[in-house]
Structure 1
Amino acid sequence: MMRRRSTLIAGCTALAVALGASACSGDPVTAGGGDNGGDKALSGQSVTVAGVWSGTEQKNFQKVLDAFTAKTGAKTQFTSTGDNVSTFVGSKIEGGNAPDVVMVPQLGVLQQFAAEGWLTPLSTTAEQSVDDGFAPVWKNYGSVDGTLYGLYFKAAHKSTVWYSPDALAQAGVEAPKTYEDMLKAGRTVSDSGLAAFSVAGQDGWTLTDWFENVYLSQAGPEKYDALAAHKLKWTDASVVKALTTLGELFKDKQLVAGGAQEALSTDFPGSVEKVFGPEPKAGMVYEGDFVAGVAHDQFGKTIGKDAKFFPFPAVNGGSAPVVSGGDAAVVVKAGKNAEAGMKLLEFLATPEAAAVWAKAGGFLSPNKKVAPASYGDDVTRATAASLIAAGDSDSVRFDMSDQAPAAFGGTKGAGEWKILQDFLRDPADPKATAAELEAAATKAYKG
């Protein structure tokens, strides 16, 4: 799934370098790398895997699973869960048909699964790979009460604003450094004939990402952490202020392509199409690094030339936000072949596995042992380098809605997703929206 989730990145210097980088091709990676070197120890066994990915992401992850098969002999079967991973997995466990491995896109869901007693701790081999190749923050994200359950295989950079260089050049504007300048530049783009932003309001998770970047920059990391843990109420003045700031964008028909009504009927791939498709309707689209995969794979854009990004800019004098996310692999106790599932996690912890998807594109690994040459273009290489460099940075924060219980931060048509969609539809009363968010959060966190 093309999500935040789908998100540690920092280093605006590295990002700035990436803006002018041109794409370059790399040699394809064979499944498992070279002769695979496997002993086929799992021949005849099968591993079932569930995750939110579909489309291009599912296709590319299948290449990783095929590499595992080539190395171990184990067959794999992947099932796309849709957005509601928690509901999907819970029903499968209850029905006696649990997957062996789940790729969990939300920190809150991983914690929920662990609290339910559904997960098997990572093996010594997998944990050693995490200790050797990953920054400590990723081990912390994958741990619950000191026990490591999740391996972060795929990471996402959630603080990038993608744009058409032609659109900005035609309007005579440059990549902005502040949020206020971004809106000003957007209005200039609009005056030149295109809307400023394509907003994927049909997918509520994109709206949580908008909020998180504004809030982190405006309120700072300490309040961000407190709100993420619901130690700070959503009715706090800092939340109302961030909603007010975001509402200035949402209510401006000059800035949002087609206004709120069209935004609410636009999904994430559609939002990218409106900027990089054959008939552009907007100059910019905010979302994570995975925008590049859609722009390249579906619309043939050369990343770094036809499609560029600038870091999400600082808001009201704050620091530029750095929001991350990622998908963690976990082993389900109730799976029919959890033992082979753990072998899959041990494979996913290797740079060999990450390199398969890295070469295919649309992927960042938090594994510092993945060679830069594994990535197919200079922009992704620079972004991956900043991901690794950000591992020990206190400025980086994990996607807030992904840290929340799924009922609040990760359920289609409910909780934060729906409330922010309603806010996009009518942003006139930020205080009322904050009260709705607090009521929904209180119920979800108690549950």
Structure 2
Amino acid sequence: MPKSPHPRATVAASLSLVFLTGGCAYLEGGGSQSADPDSPECEAFSQWQGNEGTVSVYASIRDEEAERMERSWQQFADCTGIDIQYEGSGEFEAQVQVKVDGGNAPDIALFPQPGLLARFIDAGDAVPAPDSVRTLAEEGWSEDWLNYATVDGELYGTPLGANFKSFVWYSPTYFSENGHEVPQTWDEMIALSDAIAADGVKPWCAGIESGDATGWPATDWIENVILREQGPDVYDQWVGHEIPFNDPQITEAFDRADEILRNEDYVNGGHGNVQTIGTTSFQDAGMPILDDECGMYLMGSFYAAQWPEGTTVGEDGDVFAFNLPPVDPEEGTPVMGGGEFVGAFADRPEVVAVREYLATAEYANSRAAEGAWFSAHQGLDLDGLEAPTDRLGAEILRDPETVFRFDGSDLMPAAVGAGTFWRGMTNWINGEETDVTLDYIEDSWPS
């Protein structure tokens, strides 16, 4: 999916059908009615009662995902009397700045890029997390996650949802029938690729076409390889431009990715030759796995929604996924991913109450119960996750051996991360020399 958030739209609260759940009344499609605060169903929210008011929340989350999210906090809203007014926008990144500049900032914003939140922190617009929120955050997430919303030791945002961008999708049936096993190291994965190729099947399928965002799936490849080959310190230096984009260590990572992505013996299963990667949409790219026309496809956890209706996702199903393996298993389990962070522009008691609730395991489990979502929260009940790949991703993210890094291009200046990096990778896939691509991106970095 593109580095900016998925295309999602909020629902207008226009339906009047009311249904009762757990003693609280809800308006389908949004809105709420107050519940008896002394009822058993409201006991879990008693600490936030007495903070009635309206809290505006702004994000990029839209459509069905927005409906799920609004349902996930509905009982909290009904039991506390806090009216959460949600707005989702496909132009969130640009419009949140317009709102802040115009004196119409939302109380809370869900930031899909830590760099965007940092912009408002640097400008003095974002409100630091109060001690109560910080305590909940430190109980719930690893330091890796919290560091992305921390500036000069001050926490400004708490993680919310997560997505896993190191998944390699495959067919368990195909693997089993051909005696293949899920690789545990990079070398084992290359040996597996050779074995699949020897059977006359292209081991990899790929596609980087995504409209105006064409090229972003190839950046995921590079980010994953840098994290595995060079380690988290070099990854951080590269993302922060402490080393140049054309540093020899980055060249080495491109060379390793080249062994797969521009290898005619390895790609592009079900679609054609290497050049078809540039014209194959990321949505269609993995489909040949279902027909045993390619063995593997690197794509994020969100790809679970792309498989056709009737596809069984699971360890013994039609498709499943494994984490792109490490180059050196002694260095831990590298994972590259993304997610949203809860930031705020106001500190009224009702706003703090919502920030606190969104930082709890109770909220994470409420949202997970709505489906199609998971979190890196340590208190998340894995049994409540609907999709097997969501459970797998959550298990890996909370593993103490996991070395997590946020999607690099989401942290870079937009002109690079959502501009020259995408275009450069498209040129590279189409045959441009690695040094030319790296010099082009390096020269574009804002001074």
Normalised to the residue count of structure 2, the TM-score between the two structures is 0.78
C-alpha distance in 2, partners of 1:367/1:317?
A: 25
| Displacement of 1:61 | 2.4
Question: Do structure 1's residue 403 and structure 2's residue 411 form an aligned pair?
Answer: yes
Higher relative contact order (CA 8 A, sep 6+): 1
Overall identity of the aligned pairs, in %: 25
Counterpart position of 1:15? none
Aligned to 1:430, which of 420, 430, 434?
Answer: 434
| Displacement of 1:366 | 2.5
| Displacement of 1:56 | 5.1
C-alpha distance in 2, partners of 1:87/1:397?
A: 25
Aligned to 1:314, which of 308, 321, 326?
Answer: 326
SS in 1 for 2:379: coil
| Displacement of 1:255 | 1.4
Unaligned runs of 5+ in 1: 7-27
Matches within 5 A, 1:321-340: 321-333=334-346, 340=350
Q: Is the 8 A contact 2:146 2:155 kept in 1?
A: yes
Question: Do structure 1's residue 155 and structure 2's residue 197 form an aligned pair?
Answer: no
- Give the superposed CA RMSD: 3.6
| Displacement of 1:188 | 4.7
Matches within 5 A, 1:248-267: 248-253=259-264, 254-257=266-269, 258=271, 259-267=273-281
Matches within 5 A, 1:180-329: 180-186=187-193, 188-189=195-196, 195-203=202-210, 204-253=215-264, 254-257=266-269, 258=271, 259-275=273-289, 282-295=294-307, 300-306=311-317, 307-315=319-327, 319=331, 321-329=334-342
Q: Is the 8 A contact 1:156 1:364 kept in 2?
A: yes
Aligned to 1:440, which of 434, 438, 444?
Answer: 444
Higher Cα radius of gyration = 2
Q: Is the 8 A contact 2:203 2:296 kept in 1?
A: yes
Q: Deviations over 1:376-405 (max 9, x none)?
A: 466644542332233xx5843333223322
Question: Do structure 1's residue 367 and structure 2's residue 374 form an aligned pair?
Answer: no
Counterpart position of 1:128? 135
- Pair 47,166 (structure 1): closer, same or farther in 2 beyond 3 Å: same
Q: Is the 8 A contact 1:218 1:315 kept in 2?
A: yes
- Pair 92,328 (structure 1): closer, same or farther in 2 beyond 3 Å: same
C-alpha distance in 2, partners of 1:34/1:243?
A: 58
Question: Do structure 1's residue 77 and structure 2's residue 90 form an aligned pair?
Answer: no
C-alpha distance in 2, partners of 1:417/1:122?
A: 34
- Pair 282,382 (structure 1): closer, same or farther in 2 beyond 3 Å: closer
C-alpha distance in 2, partners of 1:341/1:202?
A: 40
Counterpart position of 2:17? none
How many residues in Structure 1 have an aligned counterpart in Structure 2? 407
- Pair 273,102 (structure 1): closer, same or farther in 2 beyond 3 Å: farther
Q: Deviations over 1:274-309 (max 9, x none)?
A: 545xx67533221233334544x8554232222222
| Displacement of 1:228 | 1.9
Q: Is the 8 A contact 2:396 2:402 kept in 1?
A: no
C-alpha distance in 1, partners of 2:368/2:388?
A: 12
Q: Is the 8 A contact 1:214 1:321 kept in 2?
A: no
C-alpha distance in 1, partners of 2:296/2:166?
A: 14
Counterpart position of 1:25? none
- Pair 77,273 (structure 1): closer, same or farther in 2 beyond 3 Å: farther
- Pair 403,318 (structure 1): closer, same or farther in 2 beyond 3 Å: farther
C-alpha distance in 2, partners of 1:429/1:366?
A: 38
Q: Is the 8 A contact 2:120 2:126 kept in 1?
A: yes
Q: Deviations over 1:66-115 (max 9, x none)?
A: 34433434143231335xx5323223334554433222122222222211
